[in-house]
Amino acid sequence: MAQSTETVPAGAAMRSAGLPVARLRELSALASRAFPIVVVAALILMVALVALRSGGTTAAAEVRNGLTIGAVYALIAVGYTMVYGIIELINFAHGDVFTLSAFYALIFSQHLGFDISGLGASGAGGFFAALIILLVLTMAAAGLTGMLIERVAYRRLRNSPRLAPLITAVGVSFIIEGFLFATQGATNVRTGKANWLLGEAVKVGGVSISWRDIFVFFSALVFMFLLQSFVRFTRLGKAMRATAQDRDAALLSGVNINRTISATFFIGSALAAAGGIIYSVKDDLIVWNLGFRFGIIAFTCAVLGGIGNLVGAGLGAFLIGLIQVFGGQLIGSAWDNAIIFAMLIIVLVFRPVGLLGLRVPDRA
């Protein structure tokens, strides 16, 4: 029965239901250990089914689509996972920071007199020069926005009831969405894209992979790698890890908690901004409430990978991307959300700590 939980002291559970409980617990532990393999196996099965039904080319094309959408999810998911790791807040506004920064990028590029499509004519060199300028500006703007949000809406509530910052997060999310709705309109906005990016770079097994796909996938990897190195090797990264592990102890050892949390928000939002630009390059259509769905899915990715775990967030994002496109192929894309969330529920039931997560103490 459901009594086989970690929260019930072993003795009590044993007494109440005897042997079956113990066996069930073993099974549950086994399921938990085997889970990553099961997920990968299920994914392979899905790929095989699609390949059988619609041909290998379709399946390979869907792998490409899944990895590129997963790259965008990954950049958003790390922001969730960092913020959750450090202050245990589901930062509902994060998905909207992603949308906001996509619009930042659009506005900056218009004001600076170039857009991504215009620079496409001058080839890769010009594109990357513009892209780097745009990335720096947008990431800085989004990072500052994230810091501002933390300062205004979350910092004062750090020692309040845990639901209070969650509600302000929802409020901030409404404010950002409302701002975009009011200033950018209710319809899709085109960002424009570089034509050369759409050209075919390589052809793998009959599937053409464009420069855009390569750009999207590898820029996400680069950002993840940079973030990982930052968190692991710099002083500030160390402070972030310390704060996440034990805020009071970190405070006692001289970590400036406020600055560390601000930095976390800055970095998380800046990565969401990178995600926003990459998404603009990828799909070129942005709309005011885009961030809501992306935010929820990205949080799912973070949970799937093991929340608080950066590599896990990336891995979870690519998995979710693949599951989304293959599930859509098999069942119908109207069920996208249902597939993702059913996946999430299964993960949490069988392996609550996520794929790469560690066992954490239960807190009611």
Partner 1 sequence: MPDAEVAHADAPDIPAVPEDVPLPATASATAREESSAVFWALVVGGLVFVVAGWLLPWFVEQTANGIGFSPQDVVSSAPTGIGTVLVYVIGAAMVVLLAGVAYDAYCTLTRRGVPFRYSRTRAAVALVGAVGTVVVCVLVVSREEPLFGSLSPLATGSPDNAVWMTLTGFTVLTFVYGLRDWVSAHGQVAFAGIVFLIGALFPLIFGQSQSFIVWGASAAAIYTLLALGLNVVVGFAGLLDLGYAAFFAIGAYTCGSLSSSVHGLHFPFWIVLFIGLAVAALFGAALGAPTLRLRGDYLAIVTLGFGEIIPDAANNNLFGATGGPEGITGIDHPSIFGFNFGIDARPYFWALLVIIAVVILLLRNIQRSRLGRAWAAIREDEIAAAATGVNPVSTKLLAFAIGASVSGFAGAFFGAELGSVTPDSFQFAVSVTVLSTVVLGGIGNNTGVVAGGILVSFIIFWMLAHLQEWLGTFGNKFGLPTLGTIDYSRWVYIVYGAILVGIMLLRPAGLLPSRARKVELQSGTESESLAAVQGRA
What residues numbered 217-246 form the site for partner 1, per CB under 8 A? Answer: 228, 231-232, 237, 240-241, 243-246
Lookup: tokens for 124 = 């890769």
Backbone angles phi, psi at 57, to 5 degrees: -65, -45
Residue 93 tokens, joined: 């506004």
Nearer to partner 1, 5 or 57 (CB): 5
Q: What DSSP state is assigned to residue 307?
A: T
CB of 67 to partner 1, least distance (A): 21
Which of 109, 138, 260, 309 binds partner 1 (CB under 8 A)? It is 309
Q: How far apart are CA 340 and CA 49, in angstroms?
A: 18
Which neighbouring-strand residues pair with 209?
202
Binding to partner 1, residues 121-180 (CB under 8 A): 152-153, 156-168, 170-179
The Cα–Cα gap between 9 and 112 comes to 63
Q: Number of residues in contact with partner 1, rule: CB under 8 A? A: 89
Beta-strand pair 200-204/207-210: antiparallel
What residues between 9 and 68 interact with partner 1 by CB under 8 A?
Answer: 9, 12
**Nearest residue (CB) to partner 1, 68 versus 81:** 81
307 binds partner 1 (CB under 8 A): yes
> Which of 93/137 has CB closer to partner 1?
93
Compose the 105-124 pattern: x for residues touching partner 1 by CB under 8 A, - for all others. --------------------
Nearest distance, CB of residue 143 and partner 1, angstroms = 18
Rule CB under 8 A: is residue 254 a binding residue for partner 1? no
341 touching partner 1, by CB under 8 A: yes
Containing H/E element for 57? Answer: helix 56-87
- CA–CA separation, 220 and 244 (whole Å): 24
Beta bridge partners of 210: 200
